[in-house]
Amino acid sequence: MAEDPISSFCNTLAAFCNHLHSSSDALKQSIDRRPIPLDSASSIFTQCLNRRVSAATADLDMLDSMSFGTVSFEELLGHCNELYKKNHSDLLQLQEHLQSRGYTTVPDIEEEDEFEDIQYQDPEDKLDSPSSFYGSLSAADPSFKSFEEDALLQEFRQEDQPVVSSEGSKFLPIGPKTRSYLLLLVRMNRLVVETIDGILSYRVL
C-alpha cells in the first residue's frame, strides 16, 4: 500500500522543523557567547614581552646606579681589584683542599712555553728598561697621536720622572706598572694629562 502523501509531507516537515530548531539553538548559543578577538594571542605575547622588558630595564637601571651612580671610576676599579683578590684566595684555598686529597697541580703548558721563550731569547732583543719599552711602543704604534699620550711617553722615557697630582700637593714617583695603567686610562679617555711648569700632571675624569 502506497504511503499517504499527507503523511509523507508531515514527516518531511517534522524533520525540517527539527533541523531548524537545532540550527536556531546553535545560532543563539553563538550569539550569547563572549566574542574572542582575533589578535588576543599577539596581544598577550606583547604584554608579556613588555613586562619582561620593564623588569630588565629596572634591573639595568639599578645596576647602573650601583656601579656608576654612587661610586667613582677609581672606587669601581678598587672594587674590581678586591673581587679579583677574593676569587684568587678562594681558588688557592680550593687548590690546597684538593691537594690534601691527593690532587697534583698540572703545570700550564702555555706558561712553560713562554718561560722557555724568555730563556732562549737573544739578549740583544730584550728591553733593558721601561723607558726603552715605551720608546719602542711609541715608534711602533702610530695610534699614539694625542697630546696626552705623547706627553706621557715623553716623560716615561725618563726613568725617575715624578708625576704631580691635579692639586699639585704631592709628587708621586711612578713605576712601570703604574705607567702602563696611566696609558690605559688615557686610551679609555678617563685621564687628562697636562704639563704645568714643566711638570707632568694628571686629572682623572
- DSSP readout, 71-135? S-HHHHHHHHHHHHHHHHHHHHHHHHHHHTTT--PPPPHHHHHHHHHHHTS-GGGS--SHHHHHH
pLDDT higher than threshold 70 for residue 174: no
Who's near 37: CB < 8 A, 6+ residues apart? 43
Residue bearing cell 543563539: 28
Q: What is the mean pLDDT of the chain?
A: 70
Instruction: Give the separation between CA 203 and CA 166, rounded to whole angstroms.
Output: 5
Helices 176-187 and 147-156, axial angle in degrees (round to 10):
170
Contact 72, 78 (CB under 8 A): no
Q: Is the pLDDT of residue 143 over 60?
A: no
Q: What is the mean pLDDT of residues 107-125?
A: 55
pLDDT over threshold 50, residue 184: yes
How many other CB atoms are found less than 10 A from the CB of residue 180? 15
Share of the chain above pLDDT 90, in %: 7
Angle at 190 between CA 184 and CA 148, to 5 degrees: 70
Listed by start position, the domains of the chain span 48-99, 127-204
The mean pLDDT of 146-157, rounded to a whole number, is 53
CB 196 within 8 A of CB 168: yes
Q: How confident is the model at residue 42 (pLDDT cuts 50, 70, 90)?
A: confident
